[in-house]
Each structure stands twice: as structure tokens, then as C-alpha cells.
Amino acid sequence: MQTRLNRRRFLQTAAAAGAGLSLMGLGACATPSAAPTEAGSGEAGQELLFWAWDEPISELMKQGYEAKFPGYTARHEIIADYSTTLYTSLVAGAGLPDCAWEDAHSYQKLARTGQLLPLDDFLAPYKSDILPFLWEAGLYEGVQYGLPRRYAPEVLWYRKDRFEEAGIDPAELQTWDDFITLGAMATDDTHHMTPFTTTGSMDYNFQAMIFSKDGTGFFDADDNVVVNSEQNLACAETWLRLVKSGVARNMELWQPAWYDAAKNADIACLIMPYWYGSEPRVQMPDTAGEWDMLRIPSLERGVENASTWQGAMYWVIPTKSANPELAWKFMEYTSLDYQDAYMQESMDREFVLPAYVKFMEGDYFWKDAEEFYGSNLRQRAHELAQGAPVNYMPPEYNECETIMLNELLKMVNDEVTPEQALDNAALGFEELLKARV
């Protein structure tokens, strides 16, 4: 079985290797560019324990919380094998934090344990300003168990210098057919339009297609398998044409060769979640001013496509939390306090978008990122995400992704057709649903 490799695992590996807080440009005493909002009322101090895998952003959340609420402290615990440990701790009802966050692809597995506090009453004053496709994805049997903090739409990151050198006008890149045709202009013996992968994780080009307006994802709202829908078949056929066209280079993500190809403009663009924006600034500082982003292509011209497959994250409170009200205080601050400078900056240091749209009322964008890119990418990415479909990810989602990855590899090797690959995946998904306890 192939191991899922994603940005979280990459960050964890880098931290374990000694990158620590410097990975995202944060030092142990880092402070935001502006002062925090007015402090709390000075109630009796208390300590809460939270779990989160992103060490630099956890430090910033901790600093902001303690600055705003004097006498209160937040303790961050680093957990190995994060998602598995959180799930087994919930089921066992022991060894739990006061609150924790989890990605969308594993959130529903937690929500269905019966071991999370419903948050509907807490969230009632805020619901109308939380993005609907994130709210809907957090529901289980009509109850909201998660507070969505942030997400990342899929976008097309491109090297402006390479596009100009190849004679590609970004405005002409609207459909996947355009992507393949124009991609030939950026492809030669040492250059390609984009990478694709069949190793370690499901290809982002394919993800962007089937989890967008053009596709149906893996499941519908009632856990029915829809991976082999007609819409997804059109996406799969298009993806295979992209791979077979020669404009895409087969590469494993997060490896030195992948970074070098982006740094040297050996690949002209990447379909990646918005959070990829943290990588060029940190890993390729010499490329400042050479990056920009576009809307992901669509199957048909005239469609303003949108996809938010990666990047959604939910805060949850275990029913056996020792301090549920304190947990809510921390979650409310880190996800909903849009006037707080620490939290505004935390979104851009992590290179994600806030689920709570009031964060977008101003034109804030972290100055270091704006200096690197030359424009306010947060506002533009927010616009590119509008109208994105809900992505339903039941507890079996991660196993389903592995099944789909194996079928994509068979497609590339001409062992199955796109239709056969999706039908095989659907059968595998159904078997997982039948195995539910």
C-alpha cells in the first residue's frame, strides 16, 4: 500500500529534522506586524490544552490568545501519528485535549464517534458569515460538530517569467484543452508545463478536476458513491489526455527534484492548493516577483471553475474535555476574532483563507507575503473560491483515496480505461461502506 504524502506530513518531517519554527519564518519570540486587539477582562487565569500539527501557527495562536486574555494560558501538545491518535483517544475517552483541530478528510470520522460536543449553539451568532460549503461539509445528521477555521482553494500557480519566455498569455488559459495546447509551448527536452504524480498521493490536477464544479467528488451528502459519475468520467478522460500529451512531467511531490523544477522554472506551473504559496517564499526566496496565480481550468469554456479539495480544517471539542468552555474561548478567538492582528497574520503565515468571511472585510495581507508576490493574493484567492461545491468526505475517505490512486496508476499504464478505473474505484468504495460496524 502506498503512503499518503501531504503538506502536513511534509511539515511534520521538516520540523522533526530541526526546521522548527523557522519553517514558516517564525521564531520563538515572533510577534505579528501589528499589536493585538484589546485584552480581555482579566478573569481568573486558566490553562487549556490544545492539539494541532502546525507548530509555527500553534505558537502564534498561543501568543495571541495569551496576549488578549492576560492570566490565561494555552498549552500546545505535539502528537505523533496525529489523526490516528486523536481518533483512538476519542473512542477510548481518555488522554484527550480540551480541543483539537483536524483536516476535512478525517473530520467526519471524528464527528461520527459520538464523542464530540455539538457546536450549533456556540456557532449560532456566526453561522451566517461562515462559508456555506465549509459549514455543510461539517454537518453530521444535521448537527455541527466542528468549527471551520480555514481552507485552501485549488489554484493554478505559475511562473510569470517562464510563461513570458514560452509566449503563453495567462488570459488565454481557461479550459483544460487550453492548458494542454498552450502547455506544448512550454515543453521541450528540459521543460514541462506542469508536474503530475502517481506516487505517494493522488495527483492534484485530478483532484482539482473531480472536486470542482466539473466533477462530483467521491460521495454525495448521503454517503452514496458517485465517483463513477458521468461528470467524473469526463474529468478522468481529460486528465489522461493531459498525462499522455507529454506536457506534464511525472514527479513525486515534496522531493528535492520537485522543488528544484519549480525553483528553476523547469515546470511552468502547478495546480496546487492556495497554501502552496508558502513554499516559494520560504524555499525559493530568489524567485520573488516571479509567481502569480490563476483560476483552475474548466472542461468547458465560460465556466468560472472552483475547487476546495485541500485545506479545510475544523476545531472540535471532545465530550470529555476537562474545560469545554475554555476550549470554546480559544477556538472562538483563533477562528472568529477577525479584528485581531495575530489571527489575521496567522492566516497568511500559514497561507490559507479564513472560513469566517468577516476576515475578508478589509484588505489585510501579511506584508512579507505581499512584498514577495507583489499583490494581495488572499483577496484574489477568496474570489477564486466562490461557488465551490461541497466536498463530502465520510470516514472511509482516506482509504478511498488510496484506491483511487491505484486506479490512476493503472490508467497511466494503459491497464484500464478511465471508465473502468472509476467503476473499479466505486466497487472498492462500496466494499468499504459495507464494512462499517
What is the number of structural domains in the chain?
Answer: 2
- Whether the predicted pLDDT of 31 surpasses 50: no
Indicate if 342 and 233 belong to the same structural domain.
no
Q: Which of 349, 364, 385 is the last residue of a domain?
A: 385
User: 10 pLDDT exceeds 90?
Assistant: no
Domain-located, residue 229: yes
What grid cell was written down for 132? 456555506
Residues 37 and 116 in one domain: yes
Q: Determine the average pLDDT of the residues in 347-361.
A: 96
Would you say 387 and 304 are in contact if contact means Cβ atoms under 8 Å apart? Answer: yes
pLDDT of amino acid 56: 86
Same domain? For 201 and 68 the reply is no
Side-chain half-sphere CA neighbours of 396 within 13 A: 20
Looking at residue 310, its pLDDT comes to: 67
Tens of pLDDT, residues 275-318 = 999 999 999 999 999 999 999 999 999 999 999 976 689 999 99
pTM, entire model: 0.90
175: left (phi over 0), alpha (psi -120 to 50) or beta: beta
pLDDT score of 94:
94
Q: Does 196 share its domain with 271?
A: yes
Residue 6 pLDDT exceeds 60: no
| Shared domain check, 293 and 327 | no
Q: How far apart, in Å, are the Cα atoms of 127 and each of 8, 132, 133, 136, 385?
A: 28, 9, 12, 11, 18
Mean pLDDT on 343-352:
94
Question: Burial letters for 223-252: b for 16+ Cβ neighbours within 10 Å, e otherwise?
Answer: eebbbbbebbbbbbbbbbebbeeebbbebe
pLDDT band at residue 20 under the 50/70/90 scheme: very low
Cβ atoms of 390 and 133 closer than 8 Å: yes
Examine the domain organization and report whether 299 and 361 are in the same domain: no
Confidence at residue 200, expressed as pLDDT on a 0 to 100 scale: 86
**Are 48 and 134 in the same domain?**
yes
Residue 407 lies in a domain: yes
Range of the domain at 294: 154-307+396-434
| Residues 33, 80 share a domain | yes
Same domain? 147 vs 162: no
Q: Are residues 100 and 185 in the same domain?
A: no
Instruction: Answer yes or no: is 2 within a domain.
Output: no
User: Do 29 and 126 fall into the same domain?
Assistant: yes
Q: Are residues 34 and 115 in the same domain?
A: yes
Residue 391 included in any domain = no
CB < 8 Å & 24+ apart, contacts of 7-16: 7/254, 7/273, 7/275, 7/310, 8/53, 8/54, 8/82, 8/103, 10/254, 11/53, 11/54, 11/55, 12/53, 12/82, 15/55
CA distances from 297 to 6, 178, 264 (A): 23, 8, 24
Residue 414 domain flag? yes
Residue 1, in any domain of the structure: no
pLDDT, average across residues 330-352: 96
CATH number at residue 50: 3.40.190.10
Q: Are 277 and 351 in contact (CB under 8 A)?
A: yes
